[in-house]
Each structure stands twice: as structure tokens, then as C-alpha cells.
Amino acid sequence: MTGTFGSLNTALSALRYQQVALDVANNNIANVNTAGYVRRRAEAASVGATGQPTMWSQYDGHGDGVRVASVDRLADPLLDARSRRENGTLSYLSTQQTILNRVETSIGEPGDNGLSAALQELGAAFQDLVGDPAGAAARKTVLAKADAVTSAFKTQSDSIAGEIADQQSHASTVVQEVNDAATELARLNKTIKVAQVNNTDVGTLSDQRDLLALSLAKLTGAEVSVQPDGQFNVAVNGVALVTGDTAATMTATSGTPVALSVGGTAVPAGVGGELGGVVDVLNTTLPAYKKSLDDIATKFAAQMNAQHRAGTDLNGNPGQDLFTIDPADPAGSLAVAFTNTDLLAASAGGAKDGGNADALSRATTVGSDYAALVTSFGSAVASVNRQTTNQQTLTNQVDDEREQMAGVNLDEETVNMVAAQHAYEAASKMLTVMDSILDTLINRTGVTH
């Protein structure tokens, strides 16, 4: 539109656009601490001649102002996808790190109260018995140290069993969180699609959906695929969890090993995120350690019992088993077979002979087996710690890149706000000038003095 009255329209369009720009900056600043909020930017478009001129038409104007083309969320799909992937990996490693560090602390090696120290003290007690095979004090000490060994085995076994029970409960909790998040994401898919058809702003809903997608990635390492219509489909290790506005239900079997399924379809091994960390520890790490500990307890009892039966007790009778054990739970059930010190078969022949006590002090070779087990477990924990540290650095870098794009920068928003304010003032001044021009044109044209 050309002419004086057209200039009024141009100034008015500037006022309207700059008001939107101020509102957007204001909303960004208001949500600077809102979790998952992605900053917005008002995109301007120049208003000019029609894009489809008719025959013989001619546009002799110089632009008809400005309009709001769109209010865009400054989100980068590539950075969002990378953030979900790296956060899922970090969640997987962090979960394992927390569990394994707790188990390592419960093992108590190296330390004065661990199994290794108990085995050494038992050997030393048998050596003391060699010097005084009939002494009541030495015999009581041997039984006390033997009981300390069984307690050390049981403490570790109970600790592992308790950790397994806790993680089974943890897995159930995570599965419920996954189902809740998947249901909500599917609902948002439907709501956003309807809102887009009605030309309603979906920025806030998109923020919520992105936050849920990130949460699912952290929980399960889920892969998110954005469909042509903008909806999010979510899969867990290749098995569909969310398809459009439909969410399947994830389930986990009780006990060990833990098996996952989504909508009745088994999820292959290798799930990521927090749930994957829990499942891998439950299915692999803790059972492997428990089995090795049970094997050591079984071997210890067999070696000690065989040597004890080779001697004679204080009454000259052949030695009986020194330890009892339940094959169903060797480490947790290992116990001293008797409390009567006279039954200790310290002698290799005569009643005052300490030859078998000497042999008993060297009878077991499980010390080296246990040391290898602890060293191997410690190496695994150290490896997870290193991987977690490295992954944390990488995840922070990716999140920082995403934050630079999507996060609210107060300095930048202040600049945008001041720029919009000045532009608004300039447009207002233009209206004032045009009002003065029109006043002259209308009220003073043709007036003579």
C-alpha cells in the first residue's frame, strides 16, 4: 500500500512485530530456570508486493511493513539426538558405577576385617596350636578364627544377596517410570498433532515431549525417531515402545536373570540407560562374583575337612569334618562343625603331636583364588569408574553445545529486548510524525492568512 495512509499501516505493523519480539524475550527470561525450556525467537518477514501479480498490475510502493513469520523454538534435532544418546550411555555407566562401588566397599579388601585377613589369622592360629597342641587357649583361638572365616564368607554372601534384592526392586521401579513416561509421550504426540492442525502454538508441549524423550533415553537408552509429521516414535533396543499416539507396556521378570519385554515382544540383551545398567549387574556381574565366592567356600571347606580328617583329636579319635556347608549356598552357609575344642584334630599321631595342625595351617590354597577374584573385581570397578569419568566429560560437552543453542542467555535476551524496545519507540515516533503530517494536510491545506 502506498501513500500517506499506507505509512501509518507500516508503522503499525512495526509496533505489532516489536511487541511480539518483546513478549518473546520476556517469556525467555521468565523461563530461564524452567527445566526443558527451549528459547524462542520471533522471525520477521517483510511485507511487500503480492507474490502473484495480475496482468497489467504494477506495484510502485517501497514495502508495506513487517509481519511475524513465526515464533520458532531454537532446537537442533541433531544435538537433541546426540544429547539423548550420550546421556543414556552416561546413565548406564553411572548406575553400574554406583552399584559396583557399593559392593566393593562391602567386600572390605584390602582391610583388617576382610576375608583375606581372616584366612591369614586362621593359619597363624593353627601355627600357634603346633607349639601347644593340648592347650585349651590355643584350641579356643583356632575355633574362634575358624568362625571368623565363616563370618567373613557369610558377610560377603549376604551383602551380594542384599544387593541383588535391592536391584530387583530398582529394576521394577525403573520399568514403571518407563511406562509412565511412554504413556505421557504418546499423549503429547496426539495433542501436538491436533494443535498443529488448529494452528495453535505447540512450543510448551514440544518442550515437555523433548524432556520425556530425554528421560526415556536416560532410563533405557531408547532411540527416538522423528516422523515426517513431527511425531516421536521410541524404540528400546529395536523394540517399539511408542508409535505415534500409542504406547506399549514394558515388563520385567522377577528373580534372576531379569528378562525385559515390550508389548509381549522380548527385548534383546544390551539395553542401555539406567535400566540396562541394573539388568547387566543383576544378570552378569553379581551372579558371577557370587558363584566365584561360592566356589572358593566349597574348595576351602573340602581342603580343610580332608586335612582335618587325616589327624586325630585330643582323645586320640580320628578327626571329623571341621566345617559344614550347604551346596545350595556355600558361602552363606559355611559354618564350624563343632564347638568342643577337644575335637580339633591337631595331632598327626600321638595326642601331644601338633603335626596335623601344622598341615592345617597350609592346607588351603584358596587365598590366592580369593586374591585373584578381588583383584579382578577391583579392576572391573576401576574400569567402570574410568569409563564413567570419560563419558561424563563427553556428555557435558554435548549438553553444553545444546545449551548454547536452546538455553536462555540472559545477556542475549537483554540485548534483544533493548533492540525491540528501541524499534518500538522508533515506530511510535513514526506514527507521531505521520499524525503531524496528516494534521497539516487535512487542517491547513488551502488555509490563507
Establish whether the linkage from the previous residue to 110 is cis, with ω within 30° of 0.
yes
* Whole-number percent of the chain with pLDDT over 90: 80
pLDDT at 6 exceeding the cut of 90: no
pLDDT of 447 reads: 62
pLDDT of 3 reads: 62
Domain boundaries, the chain: 4-74+408-444, 83-392
Q: Is the pTM of this model over 0.95?
A: no
Q: pLDDT digits over 387-408, tens only?
A: 999 999 999 999 999 999 999 9
pLDDT at 1 exceeding the cut of 60: no
Residue 83, C-beta contacts closer than 8 angstroms, at least 6 positions apart = 214, 395, 398, 399, 402
In 146-228, the DSSP E strands lie at: 223-226
DSSP state of 275: H
pLDDT at 411 exceeding the cut of 70: yes
Q: pLDDT digits over 231-259, tens only?
A: 999 999 999 999 999 999 999 998 889 99
pLDDT of 449 reads: 58
Instruction: Specify which of 57-66, 83-92, 126-135 reaches the highest per-range mean pLDDT.
Output: 83-92
What radius of gyration, in Å, describes the C-alpha atoms of the chain? 38
- Amino acid, single-letter form, for residue 343: L
pLDDT of 229 reads: 87
Q: pLDDT digits over 54-81, tens only?
A: 655 665 566 678 999 989 999 999 999 9
Rounded to whole angstroms, the Cα distance separating 234 from 154 reads 44
pLDDT at 93 exceeding the cut of 60: yes
Rounded to whole angstroms, the Cα distance separating 412 from 405 reads 12
pLDDT at 446 exceeding the cut of 70: no
Mean pLDDT of the chain: 92
Q: pLDDT digits over 298-347, tens only?
A: 999 999 999 999 999 988 899 999 999 999 999 999 999 999 999 999 99
Hey, which residues does 240 pair with through a beta bridge? 235
pLDDT at 2 exceeding the cut of 90: no
In 36-160, the DSSP E strands lie at: 40-46, 66-73
pLDDT of 384 reads: 97
DSSP state of 307: H
pLDDT, mean of residues 21-35: 94
Alpha helices in 108-135 (DSSP H): 115-131
Residue 35, C-beta contacts closer than 8 angstroms, at least 6 positions apart = 211
Measured CA to CA in angstroms, residue 271 lies from 79, 222, 246 at distances of 22, 8, 21
Lookup: cell for 37: 525450556
pLDDT of 48 reads: 72
Rounded to whole angstroms, the Cα distance separating 169 from 286 reads 15
Lookup: cell for 15: 509496533
Q: pLDDT digits over 161-207, tens only?
A: 999 999 999 999 999 999 999 999 999 999 999 999 888 889 999 99
Rounded to whole angstroms, the Cα distance separating 264 from 249 reads 8
Rounded to whole angstroms, the Cα distance separating 185 from 243 reads 10
pLDDT, mean of residues 266-284: 96
Q: Which residue has the higher pLDDT, 274 or 431?
A: 274
327 and 298 Cβ atoms separated by less than 8 Å: yes
pLDDT of 57 reads: 60
